[in-house]
Amino acid sequence: MRYHNITKDDMLNGDGLRVVLWVAGCSHCCKECHNPITWDPNGGLDFDQAAKEEIFEELSKDYISGITFSGGDPLHVRNAYDVKELAKEIREKFPQKTIWLYTGSLWEEIKNTEIVKYLDVLVDGEFECDKKDVSLHWKGSANQRVIDVQESLRQEKVILHDS
């Protein structure tokens, strides 16, 4: 897996103060994407042990609510396995922290994949510039959903996260 940045003390990509891992690689390539530099799966830096330790150091701080995976697309074929493994490790080491993930994929396409058992919130769907709305909380366009993953799995239907 490759990544472009690790953001600390982020308040825009999920609830509370968060660490954000911006991965490299996206096949959705949404028109007017806010981060097209992350589309190239060969861009950015190798995600190495030092990057992982940087994330863990931030997550160990009491005031950090959790981690958000964004990019690019964390579920891009070049990222999905490593993101799942990292989410699993974070869930084990920091069970009180929340894990958010932004993807251009739809819930219906990924709800049966292993990664969802480690996620608290999923923001799904491609950004659609004709549905852009700057007043929306945690998403860029009205077609996207902010999904409570664990409750959706329990009820076997999409349950939106309260914002």
Q: What is the pLDDT of residue 94?
A: 98
Residue range 2-50, pLDDT digits in tens? 999 999 999 999 999 999 999 999 999 888 887 888 999 999 999 999 9
Name the residue type at position 2. Answer: R
Q: Could you report the per-residue pLDDT of 88-102, keeping only the tens digit for each? A: 999 999 999 999 999
Tokens standing for 162?
């309260």
3-class secondary structure, 16: coil
What pLDDT, on the 0 to 100 scale, is given for residue 35? 86
pTM score of the predicted model: 0.95
Measured CA to CA, the distance from residue 23 to residue 74 in angstroms comes to 6
Q: Is the dihedral of CA 107, 86, 127, 43 positive or negative?
A: negative
Average pLDDT of the segment spanning 68-83: 97
pLDDT band at 162 (very low <50, low <70, confident <90, very high): confident
Tell the residue number behind the tokens 């396409």, with chain if given: 109
pLDDT tens digits for 114-130? Answer: 999 999 999 999 999 99
